[in-house]
Chain A
Amino acid sequence: MAYWEPIRQIDEAHLVKPGSSLREVTDEIARVTENRAPRGWWICFLIASSFAGIFVLCVAYLFWRGIGVWGNTSPDFWAWDITNFVWWVGIGHAGTLISAILFIFRQKWRTAINRFAEAMTIFAVICALIFPAIHVGRPWLLFYVFPIPNQMTLWPNFKSPLLWDVFAVSTYFTVSLLFWFTGLIPDLATLRDRSTNKWRQRIYGFLALGWRGSHRHWQNYERAYLILAAISTPLVLSVHSVVSMDFATSVIPGWHTTIFPPYFVAGAIFSGFAMVETVLLIARSVFKLHRVVLMRHLELMNKFLLATSLLVGYSYAMEFFIAWYSGNQYEMAYFLKFRPTGPYWWAWAWMIGCNVAVPQLYWFKRLRTSIPVMFVVSIFINIGMWFERFVIIVTSINNDFLPSSWGYFRPTIIDVGIFTGTIGVFFTLFLLFMRWLPMVAIAEVKGTMAQADPHHEGDEGSHEVAKVDPSAGGLLPEGAE
């Protein structure tokens, strides 16, 4: 089984309804960028950009007054800022997972959602990078984190996990962007060739770099894509591991845990898939992509969510067990007392409820193939994963070694404005992407169709239709038009 083998030989069903023509696929995907935006797009865009506006105002106020406008105070010096950073980075992991790891495992169904998920990665990492940048207090000195000569002739301390994080997240952003752009090149050429307007032709033409579908080019292109997927696979696992080391290499009980790297990676994939699903369901109904994003793909994503939920649940259980088994009084105090019954018991309950209990619904086929159920569950998982980071960060420093300095973190309106603002920034960027770029990889979808197999001679299409099991109704459009 090799990556160039036709889809039929690896026993996977076709992505698009058998009998569809290549042109139908081009039309279906490219028309979204060519037709006028549907009203649903404008409604979503206005809401999202309003929140983005709130974000800009809150950050301006933050820069004007300083980080005292946040609720962070002794002993909670890290609170929503780092929670939001880890949450967004985690969300950003599904994109590369879908585009790289599923590519290496020849999971061709990924083609329906990979462009989408990659875009989501990029926008989520942009939102993530905002938080460390604005939480430094003196943002004009942010360049100290980069190894560039400065007026004090000091270099960064490379033994600090925070600096590893700078390299990990910025590498992740750059590689994701390159991966995304490489995938876009052939599709930008499609948009260029279809454009009837001079400006569209110029802009898409410029970005397509003169792509002409040459096979000599495809050969290098496919190899480069495979290599990008191969190097992104360890990268995606490393990024959240490095993020977890911000905590794990410290000596704070509740953070100083060897299970953190795999635990964080599982949580990142879990939350990322949930966010992909939320956004995908919105896009699918706004742009009527029911023929490309099938129920079968959504069901596979739900199975994936169930599996990663179990991994996350296992990590929680293991943390408890190790805390108890270590016999360390501080570890036991955090895991067995402060988290479940302390001042933030409600955040802990949200974390367990949303991340471990709610996804268990997906054991039932009726629930995991229901659009309203999966929309609600995906949002619950997003909430639960935010609370997971909040619990890890705030409860561990809230009750520190000196009981006289115990505190209670309360967010301010600026905290709330900046956090909800980044959600607005994320969706604004996402809606612009959906409107102006092909949100499904056109060339890749064509590559999975019967016509892509050079041994297919056209008349075989009728056999294909006969072979489809009508009870697996997912292959048929669900009242899309």
Chain B
Amino acid sequence: METTKARKTKRAPTAILAEFHTAHDLLHAAEKVRDAGYSKWDSHTPFPVHGMDKAMGLKDSRVGWIVLAFALTGLTGAFVMMHWMNGVDYPTIVGDKPPGAPFWTGQPGTMPSMVPIMFELTILLSAFGAVLGMLHLNGLPRHNHPAFESERFKLCSDDRFFISIEAEDPKFDVEKTRALLEGTHPAHLEVIEEEVS
């Protein structure tokens, strides 16, 4: 009984959070953390701060590739759907157009009438690709991030700028990491602890 109680109240650091008042301070702090070789760290800002990609050493976003895959699926899916439904499964002759003639046969087929829906489904799937791809790459929805343990972190969506370094980072060491962040002159520094079992 005693041991479980002790285990329940045991706390361990999960992240260190440094708070800054301007985007300028944040950018320079991020450069230092990047140069120190951390990998599991992040900056948190109320709006996208430009120049941060470089300051954090991030690679280009991969959302575009996901969108491309979705777009091609929409385009070919629309063609296959219309061709199969109106040309193969239940041939429907409208306007004297041979229903089974695909565009490469050279016959005046139904290809022009397929263009609007092929276009629309390409756009529809691309939009889903962009939004779902963005959420997937970001690991969202996720409502339980360690940073939310901090009361001050609420200001991140208002007018404050934060850097968080997570304990999962291989280079993480409470004292050393703290010293590094102190060297960037944050307005406030906080070690976030969570109960561990």
Q: Which residues of A contact B (CB under 8 A)?
A: 4-6, 21-23, 26, 147, 153-161, 163-164, 167-168, 171, 174-175, 178-179, 181-182, 186, 189-190, 192-194, 205-206, 209-224, 227-228, 231-232, 234-235, 238, 242, 245, 443-444, 446-447, 451-458
Give the residue of B26, B46, B117, B148 whose beta carbon is less than 8 angstroms from that of A158.
Answer: B117
Whether A443 contacts B24 in the complex (CB less than 8 A), given A22-B159, A178-B127, comes out as no
Q: When A210-B141, A220-B138 are in contact, do A234 and B158 touch as well, CB less than 8 Å?
A: no
Residues on B with C-beta less than 8 A from A190 are 46, 157-158
Q: Apart from A155-B85, A224-B133, list 14 A-B contacts with CB within 8 A.
A: A26-B159, A154-B90, A175-B127, A193-B155, A212-B148, A216-B56, A220-B63, A222-B48, A227-B130, A228-B131, A446-B47, A452-B47, A454-B51, A456-B22
Which of B92, B127, B158 is within 8 Å of A22, CB to CB?
B158
Contact check, B24 vs A163: say whether CB atoms are below 8 A apart.
no
Chain A residues near B82: list those with CB within 8 A.
158
**Does A164 contact B133, Cβ atoms closer than 8 Å?**
no
The residues of B with any CB-CB pair to A shorter than 8 Å are 22-24, 26-27, 30, 42-53, 56, 58, 61-64, 67, 81-82, 85-86, 89-90, 92, 94-95, 97, 110, 113-114, 116-117, 119-121, 123-124, 126-128, 130-131, 133-135, 137-138, 140-145, 147-148, 153-159, 162
Secondary structure of the B contact surface, majority rule: helix
List of A residues within 8 angstroms of B64 by Cβ: 223, 227
The secondary-structure label for the interface of chain A is helix
Contact A234 B47 (CB under 8 A): no
Contacts of B117 in A (CB 8 A): 158, 163-164, 167
Chain B: minimal CB distance from A334 (Å): 24
Cα of A383 to Cα of B194 in the assembled complex, Å: 61
Complexed CA–CA distance, A219 and B158 (Å): 19
Provide the residues of chain A in CB contact with B45, threshold 8 Å: 213, 215, 218
Whether A221 contacts B141 by the Cβ 8 Å rule is: no
**Cβ contact of B157, chosen from A160, A163, A193, A238, cutoff 8 A:** A193
In the complex, how many angstroms separate the beta carbon of A434 from the nearest chain B beta carbon? Answer: 20
Complex: how many Å from CA A267 to CA B165? 53
